A and B are shown apart, each in its own frame.
Chain A
Amino acid sequence: MNGSIRLMSALLLVLSLGLTACSGKSEPAKTNEPVTTPAPKEKVKIRLATWAGADEAKELQGVIDKINAKSTSFEIVSEPAPADYYTKLQTMIAGNTAPDLMWLGAEYVAPYAGKGALLSISDRLAKDTRSAAKLDDYFQPVLQSAQLEGKTYGLPWIAQPVIVYYNKALFKAANLPEPTDDWTWDQFRDMAKKLTNKSKGVYGTTFNGWPPVHMFVWQAGGEVISPDLKSSPIDSPEALKALEFYGNIIYNDEVAAPRNVVNEQGFGEMFKAGKIAMFFGGASDDLDRVPNLEVGHVRVPKGPKDRTTFAWTASTAINAKTKHPQEAYDALVDLTDGIQHWKVLAPRKSLATKAELIKAEPRKEKAADVIVKAAEDMRAFRIVPKHQEWDTIFWEQLQDPLYSGKGKAADLAKAARAKLEAVLK
C-alpha cells in the first residue's frame, strides 16, 4: 500500500512537471538591465494542405523554399495528402486541426465558404498592390469559382482550358484534313464517324461524362445554372440541343468508344495507345508527350452560339479559424504568384501569354498558341454551396440515364430540373 502511494505520488509529480513543460512559454522576469536590440520576430509557421503526389510535391517545395527565403514574417510548411484528400481535410476542419491554407478544387470553394470554413480575403485584397492580388488581372469566369455572394475566398492558381488533342497518323490514314480552329460540332461529328474503324478498335473520339456536357450547353447558348444561382434551365431549347448532341456521341460506336471498351481499356489510355483520333483534354495534360504518337492541338469545335471551353480550376484558400490571418493571407498571395509561374495555365491575363506558358512548361510549346487562344473563351462551373447534392442529381437523374439510353433528353431534363432547383432554394 505504501509502495503504491509513493508510486502514485511520483507519477503525479511527473505529470504535473510534464504539463508545465508543455504549456505556453512564460513571460520573462523584468530586470533593470539596459534595453538591447530586440531579437528578430520568429517566423509564423503557416501550414499548407495539398493533394500533390510525390513529384508534384517536390516541385511545389521548390516554389515554397524560394518564398520562405524571401519572407520575414511566415514560413510555409507543406503537408501533402494525395490520398483521400478531401476526406482528410473535412475531418481536420471538424476536429479543429485544419491547416492555415488549403488547396481546393473549384467544386469545393463555394460549399466550404457557404459553411463558414473559409476566411474572406476581399478586404485585404482591396488594399494589396502585389500582382497576384490584382483581381482585374484574373480571367473573371475563373475568378468567380473562388467567390461567393460578392466575396472572395481564395485565389485561383491554375486554369485548365479544354482543347482537342488529335492523332495525326489516324487522320493521315483516313485521308482526312486535320481540324482547324473554326470547325463546328457537325464537322467534328462527321470527322469522328469517318475516323472510326471498329474492326481495328479505333474510334473517332471518346466521351464518358468527360468532357463536361456543361461546355456544350454553354456553346449552344444555354446555362446549366443561371448567373443568379437560383435556377437550372437545362430544359431550355439551347440546353436540349447540347444534351442531344452529347447523347448521340457518348458510347455510340459509330463515332466513339463504347462503354465496355472504355471501362476495359481506360479512357485517356485509349488515346495514348493510338485508339482514339480526337480527345478533349486539359491544357496541361500529358497526352502529347507519348513516344511515337504524333499529336496535334486544336480548339474545341464551335457550337451554335460560340466556342466557350470549360476550364477546371483550383484555388488556395484560408481556413476561417487560422490563428494567423495576416500571415496566412500574405503567404497565400506569395504562394499563388509562385504557383502561377509554375503551372500551366496561369489564370491571369498578364501570365496567360505564349512566352510565359513556354517558360513555365517548355514541353507545351507546340500547343501554346491553341491554349492561349482557348483561354480567351474559358469558363469554370458555377458552383453553389450545395454543389455535391446538386451534382449528384444532375448525374443520376439526367446524365446517367441519358448516356445509358434510358430516356429522352427533353423528358429527363424536365424532370431533373425540378429536383435541381429544389436544391438551389
Chain B
Amino acid sequence: MLEAYSQTLTHWLLVGAAVILLMLITYALLQALKARRATAVGYALVLPWVLGFVIWQVYPVLYSLYLAFTSYDVLTPPKWVGLANFKTMFLDDPRFWPSVRLTLLYSFLSVPLGMIGALGTATLLAQDVKAVGFWRTLYYVPSILPAAATALLWRFMFAGSGLLNSILSPFLKLFNIAPPSWFADEKLVLPSFLIMSFWGVFGSNTIILLASLKNVPKELSEAAQVDGASPWTRFIRITVPMISPSLFYVMIMGIISAMQNFTAPLFITTPGGAGTFLNVYIYQQGFTQFKMGYGAALGWFLMVLILLLTAVVWKFSAAYVYYEGEVRKEG
C-alpha cells in the first residue's frame, strides 16, 4: 500500500519543504530590508495562504479574462478572437438575453421575498417560547441538506401528481383548474423556482437576523410602548432600523447567491423556451459545447453584472441602513 502512494507522499513532502523554504527566504529577505521582526514573521506566516490564493484564485481569474477573448475548445490551444465572443453574446446568441432575463427576474423577486420570510421566521424564533432551541435547530436543518438532493426532492414535489398538487387539489377542483405542470410548463418555471427559493429562507439568513433581533435594546421598544406606539410601529420604526445592517448584509449576499443559482436548475429539466439560468448556461457552453472561451466571456459578464447590482445597492444603502453611533446630518 505504501509503495502505491510513496510517490504522491514524496511530492507532498517536497511541496511542503519548498513552501517552508520560501517562508524562510521571505523572513530573511524582510530582515535584510530592515523590517521589524514581527512584520517579517507575519508575512512569512501568511505566505502559504498568499501562494494558494495567487495560484488557485488570482491566476485562474486572470486566465479566464484572457480566455474570454479567445476561441477555446479545451482540446486545442486558445485562438485570439478579440471581441467576437462579446459580439456573439450581445447580438447573435438567441439564448443569452432570455437567460439574463430569467436570472435577473429570479434575483429581483426571490431576494426581497426571501428576506421578508427570513425576517418573519427570525421574529417568531426570537419569541420566548418553550423549547425554542429545538425549533431553531429544526428550522436550520434545511440549510445543511445537500443542494442536489434538495433539487431532486423539489422535482418530486412539483411533479404533476406530486405533493404540491395533492395539497392544492381541493382548491383546483373547486375552481375546475387543471393541475399545473410546474417545471414542465414554460410559464410556471420562474414561479416554481421562486417557491423553491423559500427553502433558503430557513438557514443562515434567519440565524443572522435572529442574532440581530436579539441585540436590539429592549429599552427603546419599552420607551416607545410607553409613548403609545403600536407593535407594528415599534417593529417598523425601531426594530427594522436597528437590524438594518444585517438586512443589508442578507440582501447583498442574497443577490450574489441568486444571480449565481446553479445546482437546482442543473438537476431540474425545464422547457427550453423558459430560458436557462446564466450560471448553468456558462457551464453548458464551456463543458458540453466545447466553447470555453465563450463560457469565460459569459462568466465575466455575470461577474460585472453582479458587481454593478451590488454597487447600486451599496450606493443607496445610506438611505436605509442605520449604524448605531452614526451621526446623520440634519436634512
Contacts and interface: CB of A to CB of B under 8 A. Distances in A.
Interface of A: 1, 4-5, 7-8, 11-12, 14-15, 18-19, 21-22, 86-87, 90-91, 93-94, 111-112, 115-117, 259-261, 263-264, 388-389, 392, 395-396, 400-401, 404, 406
B75 A260 contact: no
14 contacts: A4-B24, A15-B18, A15-B21, A18-B10, A18-B17, A91-B74, A93-B75, A94-B74, A112-B75, A115-B73, A115-B76, A259-B184, A388-B290, A400-B273
B318 to A, nearest CB: 45
B24 A22 contact: no
A90 B21 CA distance: 35
B289 A14 contact: no
A160 B288 CA distance: 23
Nearest to B21: A11
Contact of B75 (A1, A22, A115): A115
Interface in B118-171: 159-162
A96 to B, nearest CB: 11
Nearest to B75: A115
Contacts of A261: 160
Contacts of A111: 290
Interface residues of B, number: 35
A263 B74 contact: no
B186 to A, nearest CB: 8
B64 interface: no
Contact of B17 (A14, A22, A396, A406): A14
Which secondary structure dominates chain B's binding surface?
A: helix
Contacts of B18: 15
Contact of B76 (A18, A86, A116): A116
B45 interface: no
B166 to A, nearest CB: 12
Given A15-B18, A22-B11, A396-B272, A264 B162 contact: yes
A15 B17 contact: yes
A93 B74 CA distance: 8
A18 B290 CA distance: 39
Contacts of B273: 400-401, 404, 406
A396 B98 CA distance: 14
B7 interface: yes
A11 B20 contact: yes
B204 interface: no
Contacts of B183: 263
Contact of A7 (B24, B287, B290): B24
Which secondary structure dominates chain A's binding surface?
A: helix
A129 to B, nearest CB: 33
Nearest to B179: A260
Interface in B272-294: 272-273, 287-291
Contact of A8 (B25, B287, B289): B25
Contacts of B160: 260-261, 263-264
B106 interface: no
B42 to A, nearest CB: 16
Nearest to B76: A115
B31 interface: yes
Given A94-B74, A404-B273, A19 B21 contact: no
Contacts of A12: 21
Contacts of B17: 11, 14-15, 18
B28 interface: yes
A21 B10 contact: yes
A404 B270 CA distance: 12
B27 interface: yes
Interface string B65-82: 000000001111000000
A389 B93 CA distance: 12
A94 B290 CA distance: 12
Given A264-B160, A388-B288, 12 more contacts: A14-B14, A91-B74, A93-B74, A94-B74, A111-B290, A112-B75, A116-B76, A117-B75, A264-B162, A395-B272, A400-B273, A401-B273
A191 B122 CA distance: 59
A263 B269 contact: yes
Nearest to A261: B160
B181 interface: yes
B112 interface: no
- 5 nearest interchain CB pairs? A264-B159, A115-B75, A260-B160, A260-B181, A11-B21
B323 to A, nearest CB: 46
A117 B74 CA distance: 10
Nearest to A14: B17
B260 to A, nearest CB: 19
Interface in B71-99: 73-76, 95
A396 B99 CA distance: 14
A260 B184 contact: yes
Contact of A22 (B10, B181, B290): B10
A116 B75 contact: yes
Nearest to B290: A388
A8 B28 CA distance: 10
Contacts of B159: 260, 263-264
Contacts of B74: 90-91, 93-94
A31 to B, nearest CB: 29
B13 interface: yes
Contacts of B28: 1, 4-5, 8
B231 interface: no
A4 B25 CA distance: 9
A11 B11 CA distance: 14
A263 B272 CA distance: 15
Contact of B27 (A4, A260, A400): A4
B24 A18 contact: no
A111 B73 CA distance: 10
A8 B76 contact: no
